[in-house]
Amino acid sequence: MAESFAVKLEERCYLPDPRCRANARVPDYAREYSEFVRDPEAFWDRIAQELEWYGPWERVREWNYPYAKWFVSAKLNITTNCLDRHVAGPRRDKPAIIWRGEEGEERTYTYGELHREVMRFANGLRSLGVEKGDRVCIYMPLVPELVVAMLACARIGAVHSVVFGGFGADALAMRINDADAKILITADVGYRRGKTIPLREIAKEAVSQTPSIERVVVLRREEPAVEIDPALEVDYASLTAKAAPDCPAEVMDAEDPLFILYTSGSTGAPKGIVHTCGGYAVGTYYTTKCVFDVREDDVYWCTADPGWITGHSYVVYGPLAVGTTVVITEGTPDYPDPGAYWRLVEDLGVTIFYTAPTAIRMFMRYGDEWPAKYDLSTLRVLGSVGEPLNPEAFEWYYHRIGGGQCPIVDTWWQTETGMHMVTTMIGEPMKPGFAGKPIPGAVVDVVDKSGNPVPPGTGGFLVIREPWPSMMRTVHGNDERYCKYWNTIPGCYTAGDLAVKDEDGYIMIIGRADDLIIVAGHNIGTAEVESALVSHEAVAEAAVIGKPDPLKGNVIKAFVTLRVGVSPSDDLTEDLAHHVKKSLGPVAVPAEIEYMDRLPKTRSGKIMRRVLKARELGMDPGDISTLEE
Ligand code: PRX
């Protein structure tokens, strides 16, 4: 890890409209934060009381470094919080999900309808032999059935592992095998930019490498419907049609696992981050309600795919627990034209909009005329997540989308944290480029290698000091990797990000401190891309780095040495890109591939990506004393 370093801080500040502070759910950040610090257990106890439990907790938390338990011995089911309690009250006929397809087709599920669908599908899963604790892999496009599938698993206590529909067969197979999943739920196709993505074909290829999968449930969308392979496949619609309508929720312990979600590791295979039922429900409920300040008549749109943590926490569990109307779309921001998102905001009267900086930068490039064509005046709160929201993008988002009226919550968090950890709460002064301060409920700091806070203006490591309810509990099948988060810097959870604080305690995220690359907000591990490249017959060795990109934040650049007798060519470059795409999916494809005779290595044989990166960016490579001749 690097030492701490000085950072020049740009200071601009937007003072929010005083009305938005007065009306916010957390009208006084400082007071709420000090209330939390005074008694963290009482703070979380109060919030947890707002959810529905079968039985009380013996203790709010049990902290046995680095292992935490939250709401000890309490019982709940997250789906009764997301569905039943709304259906029992005035939200039965309120839209829970409004889905828009690529060609403009629309489907709406009220809370009552979603509840029924989830129960039927949950019974369908049970009829396939799925029991509490079994792992179910979900590999679907962004359709309402994806949300139904997740909630149906949670209903019966099965642990879902959602794999983003943009991943390739090898990435899917690896995740299925690691989780030892019994059932795979997929669809025949996804639609993207007018093309079809053959999900079922990819799933078939993956399943040929996954002995644990017993059945594959296929949602059939194409007309005429594809033929089902009765030996392995089950039709989604018939499964639901045959199932009983009522499915009482499984009583789950607060610490039972809810899901596994894979995230890239800095070394080796992706990590299966494990989240549990109780703490995760409380953390996502609280942050959705307070960070976005959700009101009864809001129309809430988070553009993330449930294949990522943002989709888990802020498309599915948090917003449904709060009981808001959630917009989802299979469409992309610039198809059929760059007005696609803004048209949706206007058509549906979206009030809360949560997206990624890479999308905002893309909109900036298309020009102000696109958002200007639409009525965006319903928007009330804007959010950002996934990578630093640079000041230019902040300004554009604030003025062109928010009309200079909407607070922007730039939320820093991770798959591992499960919920927001740092942001600027609504009503607080906003500083472009800074995510903000720790949310009430989180103790976040910027420290040196030994865990000492660094002074304002000095860069250091972003850490979290105290446990929080929705923290990951372990890495599936590899607790050592879990412990590493808490063993790297004494007394802290190390997030792996570099950051800096200003005099007011605002935190600016600088970027990753390790071998992860954030490409268009997606977390990609160098190791995975390298091993995909090396699995090509022409490649001897590969090293990949992240290269700053004005649109995507970073792109992947690969340096490759070839096997003896193979020569570089454009055809080979294309073939390598195709190979990575097939194996890992389009997100992991290098934007550039450079052929080299040798890669820079340490004397012990480790590839020095840092040297490649410095050369690429024309920077000082730092200490190269360990570089071999
Ligand atoms: O580097 C940080 C970046 O995304 C990483 C977490 O990635 P992932 O687990 O895929 O979750 C993404 C969605 C929460 C972090 O370690 N990151 C996330 N949010 C921000 C961010 N960087 C800067 N500002 C943010 N708001």
| Same domain as 157, residue 48 | no
Phi/psi at 338 (5° precision): -70, 5
Residue from 415, 348, 326 nearest 147 by CA: 326
Ligand 1 pocket check for 411: Cβ under 6 Å: yes
**152, 125 Cβ separation under 8 angstroms:** yes
pLDDT for 20? 78
Helical packing angle, 526-534 and 570-584, nearest 10°: 120
| Same domain as 383, residue 296 | yes
* Averaged pLDDT score across all residues of the chain: 94
**261, 309 Cβ separation under 8 angstroms:** yes
- In a domain, residue 97? The reply is no
CA dihedral 124, 130, 133, 136 (to 10 degrees): -80
Q: Which atom of ligand 1 is nearest to the CA of 389?
A: 24
Q: How far is CA 100 from the centre of its chain?
A: 21
Give the end of a domain, one of 482, 511, 540.
511
- In a domain, residue 400? The reply is yes
Distance 354 CA to ligand 1 centre (A): 14
Check pLDDT > 70 for residue 308: yes
CATH number at residue 580: 3.30.300.30
Q: How far apart are CA 148 and CA 510, in angstroms?
A: 37
pLDDT for 526? 85
Check pLDDT > 80 for residue 603: no
In Å, how far are 102, 429, 522 from 263, measured between CA atoms? 28, 33, 9
- In a domain, residue 91? The reply is no
pLDDT for 528? 83
CATH number at residue 64: 3.40.50.12780
**616, 554 Cβ separation under 8 angstroms:** no
- In a domain, residue 623? The reply is no
pLDDT for 72? 98
- In a domain, residue 627? The reply is no
Ligand 1 pocket check for 388: Cβ under 6 Å: yes
pLDDT for 11? 72
Give the end of a domain, one of 455, 488, 511.
511
pLDDT for 459? 87
- In a domain, residue 27? The reply is yes
Ligand 1 pocket check for 435: Cβ under 6 Å: yes
Check pLDDT > 60 for residue 217: yes
Q: How far apart are CA 6 and CA 416, in angstroms?
A: 28
> What is the predicted ipTM?
1.00
CATH number at residue 197: 3.40.50.980
| Same domain as 505, residue 561 | no
| Same domain as 275, residue 343 | yes
Q: How confident is the model at residue 512 (pLDDT cuts 50, 70, 90)?
A: confident
| Same domain as 237, residue 122 | yes
- In a domain, residue 82? The reply is no
| Same domain as 12, residue 43 | yes
Phi/psi at 560 (5° precision): -130, 135
Q: Which amino acid is at 455?
A: P
Give the end of a domain, one of 463, 480, 511.
511
Q: How far apart are CA 551 and CA 531, in angstroms?
A: 26
Q: pLDDT tens, 100-158?
A: 999 899 999 999 999 999 999 999 999 999 999 999 999 999 999 999 999 999 999 99
| Same domain as 605, residue 552 | yes
Give percent of the chain with pLDDT exceeding 70: 97
**545, 517 Cβ separation under 8 angstroms:** yes
Q: Tell me the best of 408, 409, 413, 434 to mutate to test the pocket of ligand 1, counting ligand atoms within 8 Å of each CB and taking the most.
A: 413
Q: How far apart are CA 492 and CA 91, in angstroms?
A: 42
Ligand 1 pocket check for 474: Cβ under 6 Å: no
Distance 10 CA to ligand 1 centre (A): 21
Of 601 and 256, the structure prediction assigns the larger pLDDT to 256
- Between 147-156, 172-181, 307-316, 603-612, the lowest mean confidence (pLDDT) is in 603-612
Q: Which amino acid is at 468?
A: W
Residue having the nearest C-alpha atom to atom 8 of ligand 1: 414
Angle at 291 between CA 454 and CA 525, to 5 degrees: 60
Q: Which residues contact 90 (CB under 8 A, 6 or more apart)?
A: none
Ligand 1 pocket check for 413: Cβ under 6 Å: yes
Of 319 and 513, the structure prediction assigns the larger pLDDT to 319
pLDDT for 4? 61
Structural domains counted in the chain? 3
pTM of the model: 0.92
| Same domain as 349, residue 496 | yes
Ligand 1 pocket check for 370: Cβ under 6 Å: no
Check pLDDT > 70 for residue 466: yes
Residue 43: CB atoms within 10 A of its CB come to 19
Q: pLDDT tens, 8-45?
A: 676 788 888 777 777 888 989 999 999 999 999 999 99
Q: How far apart are CA 374 and CA 342, in angstroms?
A: 6
| Same domain as 306, residue 237 | no
| Same domain as 392, residue 300 | yes
Check pLDDT > 80 for residue 214: yes
Ligand 1 pocket check for 305: Cβ under 6 Å: no
Bond preceding residue 248 cis, omega within 30 of 0? no
Q: Tell me the best of 167, 302, 308, 414 to mutate to test the pocket of ligand 1, counting ligand atoms within 8 Å of each CB and taking the most.
A: 414
Q: Which domain holds residue 542?
A: 516-617
- In a domain, residue 167? The reply is yes
**Mean pLDDT, range 364-380, rounded to an integer:** 95
Distance 509 CA to ligand 1 centre (A): 9
| Same domain as 421, residue 280 | yes
Q: How confident is the model at residue 1 (pLDDT cuts 50, 70, 90)?
A: very low
* Residue keyed to tokens 């490249």: 533
Q: Facing residues of 493 across strands? A: 464
Tokens representing residue 26 in the block: 């957390």
Check pLDDT > 80 for residue 626: no
| Same domain as 384, residue 443 | yes
**190, 141 Cβ separation under 8 angstroms:** yes
Q: How far apart are CA 623 and CA 226, in angstroms?
A: 58
Q: Which atom of ligand 1 is nearest to the CA of 509?
A: 23
**263, 271 Cβ separation under 8 angstroms:** yes
**Mean pLDDT, range 551-570, rounded to an integer:** 93
Ligand 1 pocket check for 342: Cβ under 6 Å: no
